[in-house]
Structures are given as C-alpha cells and as structure tokens.
Structure 1
Amino acid sequence: MAVESFAAWLETPQGRYALAWEQTKTDLLAADIFGFNAVQIGFPQIDFLRANRMPLRFTCCEEGPCTTRADPHHLPFATNSVDLVVLPHILEFDANPHQILREVDRVLVPEGSVLVIGFNPFSLWGLRRLFSGSRGEPPWQGRYLSVPRLRDWFALLGFETRGGAFGCYAPPLRQEKWLARWHCIEAAGDRWWPYLGAVYVLQAIKRQHGLRLVTPKWKDRMARAKALALLPQKPLTQKREEK
C-alpha cells in the first residue's frame, strides 16, 4: 500500500528532513485554531495536532494505532461537528481525493479549518517524481497536487484559502550529510523563490456566506463536543466481506 510505504520513507534522511519542516509549520498554524474537536486523517504515528489546544483530538485511519478506525471517504463524524481537520499527504495517495474533501466539508463546522500537507509538483522534488514515474519508490509514486489546484477545489466547496507556507528547498538527496550541506539554501528559498519549496502546508476555512454564525453557550457547546457521536456504521472488515 502506498501510504504504508510512505510511512517507512519518513524514517529515511529525506523523510526526516521533510517531516521536520512540516511539523514545525503545522504547529504554528494549528496552535492558533480554536474550538472543541480536531481530527487528523491518516498517518496516526505522527502527531500533527500536538500544538493544538482543543480539548478533544482524534486520529482517523483505516489501519494502525488510531483513535477512530474508519474509511476517510465516509467519515464517522456528525455533520458540522469538527473544528479542525488535518490532511497529511493523504490526498496524494488516494484514488478519490475529491470525496475526502467533500467529507471534510460535511463534518466541519462553519468557519472551521482544514490544513493540507502536500508535495509541490513545481519543485526539484516534483521534477524528481517525473523521472520516477508512477511505479517509483515512495514518495515519488504519489500524485502531487499543486496549491493553485487545491485552491480551485476548495473554492468550489465554498472554502477560503488563507494561511500556508512552502519549505524544503534542498534537492532530493538521499544522504543526510548532503542534505545538511544545503541547509543554507532554506533562508534564500523563502526570500527569493518561495513557491518552489518541495512541500507545503495550506489552510482553508469553511465559509457560510449570507449566514450569521450564532455561537452556542459554552456549556451547550462543550456538551455537544463531548457527544461527538460516531455515526453508526459497519466495521471495515464486514464491509469488505459484503462486497
């Protein structure tokens, strides 16, 4: 499975290099997003919600040590019940990323946020992927989504994209010592060619135009948050057997 092989790649020098930047930037964005319920979809072994201060934080995946076992195309959360969703590289390795985003739109509360972490196709790493083809080793077999494309998708769903950043300007070198030698290029990349970073974090906010958001009382909202009921659904194994 592509996601599993990608998780193994994160243990390599290349993976640690990209992951360090991703967690730093995600921490900065997630720390300023408030609410009651936060959900990370995919890669439960990496905590991208560690800097967020919401009282209830979940990890959702099909396999692995997550708090909620579910299909990301059919999230078991009530409509308008989640304040933050984090999608770390899950869209790049899924055959139907549009359905995942539709589910994110459904479960998010008005003015809720989604953070997307992905690889930039317009970078040296994106160029490396072109030479690898779809059968390359991780992470080169993923289908990289550009930030302009994601903005178009979010606009169709009624989201407004605002925060975000690009990073990791070193070439996709395999050895840690060579990656370290390119460390000086990070500051130059942020200043002179920020849109050519290998990875990005993009924030989008679910807007409800024409509606006035009425915030419930603290106690009522806390009660609803604690009752973030998982919608009744059959276990994944049973679904596969029925198919």
Structure 2
Amino acid sequence: MMYPETMEEFADWLASSALGHDLLCREQAFFDHAVADIFGFRAVQLGLVDYDFLACNRIPWHGYAGMDGQADVVCDPAYLPFDSKSLDLLLMPHALDFTSEPHQVLREAERVLLPEGRLVLTGFNPFSLWGASRLLYRRRRVPWCGNFVGTSRLKDWMTLLQLETTATRFMAYSPPFARADWLARCRFMEQAGEYCWPQLAGVYGVVAVKRQRGMRLIMPRWQRAKPARSLAVASGNERQPINRTQANETSHE
C-alpha cells in the first residue's frame, strides 16, 4: 500500500523547500509536454493531487485519485477502483517511490489502461547524486525514504506487463543542495548533464503505451484506379473506340 503520511510530507516538501520547488518546476514541465498530444475520453492522475499535472491535456474528463483526502477518488494505488480497460491516460508522479508494493501498483496501472492507452510516471534514480544522498540522510525523511526504483528495473517490469516505453526524460542533474543559492551555482550542470551523463540524473520521467498481445491494426489497402476499358470498331483501315453502351445500341440495331 501507499503511505499517506509520507506522500503528504513529500507534497509539502515540494512546496516548502528550495530543492523541492526546483524539482516541482522541472516535473511540471515534463508532464505538460508529455500529455499535450495524448487524446481520449478519460485521464486520471494518481497521487500528488495538490498539483495539476493534467493541466495541458485536452482529454475532456480528468480525475484525481490517491490516499489524500482532497482527491476525487480516495483509494489505495495498489488496488485501483476503476474498471479494467477504462482509462486512456494515467499519470503516476512518484507513485512507485512511496509504496510498499511498487510492482502491484504498476500491475494495476496496466489493468485499468485501454489498449494503446498511455502511462506517464516519474521516479527517483538510485544511481545518481540523489541516490547517494540517501546514505547521508539514512532514508529517515522525504524524499530520501522513497524506493528509488531504477529505470532498468522499471523497464523490465513494464516489459512483463506489455507496457512499451516510448520516451524517457532525465532531469535534476545538480547535487541535491537544500539552499537556493547553491542550486543556482550548479545550474550549468543541468544543460551539461543532458549531453554528458544523462542516465545519472536524480529524477526520470517515462512515457509508456499499453500493447495488446494478438492485436493488430488493419490498415486500408489503397489501389490506384484502373482506366475504363473501351471497345474498338474497325471500319476499313481505321479504328474508332466506342464505349460499351454504344456497342450494345449498335448490336440491337
């Protein structure tokens, strides 16, 4: 299950700390770009309902679920109260980081998605400066108490569940300093990290699509139209084409 107190503390940390606010801005930009061109009928954000990561999505129905009392649907992410194959888009901001059953949460995400539905999630990278900071803080407080599921492990889980990764974005390359001025001094690492050490970022974002086994899209087979055939009537050495209607009238006469 997800730990509601931990998620609430994490939501407060994003809003109150300099490091959290910096991360929140980066993740908001990631979600805004990832969901802008996803269409359908129903979209759900699972967790961190204080922040609207569906704001740039044009699906008509948006729902917000989680263990927070402000959510539209209060539920355990490991056992979602949605019908199977009912959602076109599911967002999970750090939903796998603060749960005791990350694989079960991912399995539920696959269950509720329609074929060709989209899953967009973010998570902490254990193989980064952020992951190393967990040893310093001994996992006693947010966000260092999270699971920090690596991208390789995550993609292995997705492959088993027929969730195909279509895009991966890395962010937060600078050390996780608590002070805003120290973060500003390390701003150059954000641009350099994308080219030099992309997989060592503190946070990753993943976009995946649910594939249906045995399902194949049937595309129309367009063929070029053939010209209508005509009949030729010989008169001496000349040949004049006439259509079939004229030929029938001639035969009746």
Give the TM-score of the pair, scaled to structure 1: 0.84
1:58-207 aligned at under 5 Å gives the runs 58-134=63-139, 136-207=140-211
Partners in 1 of 2:206 and 2:81 — Cα distance? 24
- Aligned match for 1:29, one of 31, 34, 39: 34
**Which is worse superposed, 70-79 or 35-44?**
70-79
Aligned-residue offset at 1:133: 2.1
In structure 1, stretches of 5+ residues that fail to align are 215-243
Aligned-residue offset at 1:109: 0.2
Question: Is the CA contact (8 Å cut-off) linking 2:49 and 2:68 kept in structure 1?
Answer: no
Question: Is the CA contact (8 Å cut-off) linking 2:64 and 2:71 kept in structure 1?
Answer: yes
Partners in 1 of 2:25 and 2:44 — Cα distance? 20
Percent identity, aligned pairs only, is: 45
Residue identity in the other structure for 2:13: W
Aligned match of 1:42: 47
Aligned-residue offset at 1:212: 3.4
Higher relative contact order (CA 8 A, sep 6+): 1
Partners in 2 of 1:44 and 1:187 — Cα distance? 30
1:141-168 CA-partner distances (Å, limit 9, x unpaired): 1110111110000001111112120011
Aligned match of 2:11: 7
Give the TM-score of the pair, scaled to structure 2: 0.81
Question: Is the CA contact (8 Å cut-off) linking 2:173 and 2:200 kept in structure 1?
Answer: yes
Q: CA RMSD in A?
A: 1.3
Aligned-residue offset at 1:4: 1.6
Other structure's SS at 2:58 match: coil
Question: Is the CA contact (8 Å cut-off) linking 1:119 and 1:198 kept in structure 2?
Answer: yes
Aligned-residue offset at 1:213: 5.5
Residue identity in the other structure for 2:212: Q
Aligned-residue offset at 1:140: 0.5
How many equivalent pairs are there? 213
